[in-house]
Amino acid sequence: MPDFQHPSLDLDARYTFAKRVALEAAERAMTFYVRRSDLTVEHKDGDLQDVVSIADQQVEAFIRGELAEHFPEDGVVGEEGGSAGLQARCIWVIDPIDGTACFLNGLHNWCVSIGLLVDGEPLLGAIADPNHGELFHGFVGRGAFVNDTPLQAHGAGHLCEGLVGVGTTHRPGKEHFLPFLHGLLDTGGMFVRNGSGSLMTAYVAAGRLIGYYETHLKSWDCLAGLVLVREAGGRSNDFLRGDGLLAGNPYLVAAPGVYEQLSVLVGPSLEAP
């Protein structure tokens, strides 16, 4: 784990920064959201389902500008702007608008996600959901919260006792999605998909979902949320293994009483490279 007392690391300042900037970035995103019909939209690598708008780009530019001003020595990994400074002890992992397709189609399932790795370990995170007035945030060893309310993972012991968040993309791994759903339904479980990996991860930490499985997720969609799940008593797979930070991996987070049941349904693909 990181050295919390290292004199070169002002982690309290970084935690305060993450919460402030997530909220300010979410306010900026909301100004675009209310006039979303005027936005220019592009498709990434020809994928009609993987979209980016000027809102994503400008909100990420704002976050990067704040980082450059306050923590210029830190590294950063962002969905739109790529990575830099990965040799640094502190690396920010940011998604300016997680749930862009929802954002552009007038749905409320989007947020701003800002997480921090220290010495390769997720240490703190903030997820701002302006549509519902919620700021999910957490710091390793200090707990996780939505606004000022502590988070606690669901107490379910069986998959029939709650909802499981699910998701997939057109990337390799999608072939595991339907078998997982069949298995979940056969156990008496039920699922939802809201289009935002950050929010579904936060909902696992909050006990609103008993688990969340994605066939392949990127780090900016879940880094902040991994801290919340850990601090709320949930479990996760080894998402950052291999080149997970930059390339992503299969992803599972869940309440402790159902994690193993979900892991069995996912199968060996969960820990595949």
Taking alpha carbons only, the member of 147, 116, 115 closest to residue 130 is 147
pLDDT at position 50, please? Answer: 47
Rounded to whole angstroms, the Cα distance separating 118 from 125 reads 12
Q: Are 152 and 207 in contact (CB under 8 A)?
A: yes
Instruction: Report how far apart, in Å, the C-alpha atoms of 92 and of each of 20, 32, 59, 102, 115 are.
Output: 14, 24, 15, 24, 6
The model's pLDDT over 100-153, given as tens digits with 9 standing for 90+, comes to 989 999 999 999 999 999 999 999 999 999 999 999 999 999 999 999 999 999
The model's pLDDT over 6-36, given as tens digits with 9 standing for 90+, comes to 556 899 999 999 999 999 999 999 999 998 8
The model's pLDDT over 148-200, given as tens digits with 9 standing for 90+, comes to 999 999 999 999 999 999 999 888 999 999 999 999 999 999 999 999 999 99
pLDDT at position 13, please? Answer: 97
Domain boundaries, the chain: 11-150, 159-271
pLDDT at position 175, please? Answer: 95
Most confident of 34-43, 46-55, 171-180: 171-180
Residue 48 has pLDDT above 50, yes or no: no
Rounded to whole angstroms, the Cα distance separating 135 from 67 reads 19
pLDDT at position 74, please? Answer: 97
CATH topology of domain 159-271: D-Maltodextrin-Binding Protein; domain 2 (3.40.190)
Rounded to whole angstroms, the Cα distance separating 180 from 48 reads 25
The model's pLDDT over 57-97, given as tens digits with 9 standing for 90+, comes to 899 999 999 999 999 999 999 988 889 999 999 999 999 99
Query: Is residue 47 very low, low, confident or very high in pLDDT (cuts 50, 70, 90)?
Result: very low
Binding residues for Mg(2+), by number, are 79, 95, 97-98, 221
Residue 44 has pLDDT above 60, yes or no: no
CB within 8 Å of 108: residues ≥ 6 apart: 102, 131, 132
Residue 210 has pLDDT above 90, yes or no: yes
Residue 55 has pLDDT above 90, yes or no: no
Residue 46 has pLDDT above 50, yes or no: no
pLDDT at position 271, please? Answer: 87
**What are the phi and psi torsion angles at 235 (to 5°)?**
-125, 160
Residue 227 has pLDDT above 80, yes or no: yes
CATH 3.30.540.10: does it fit domain 11-150? Answer: yes
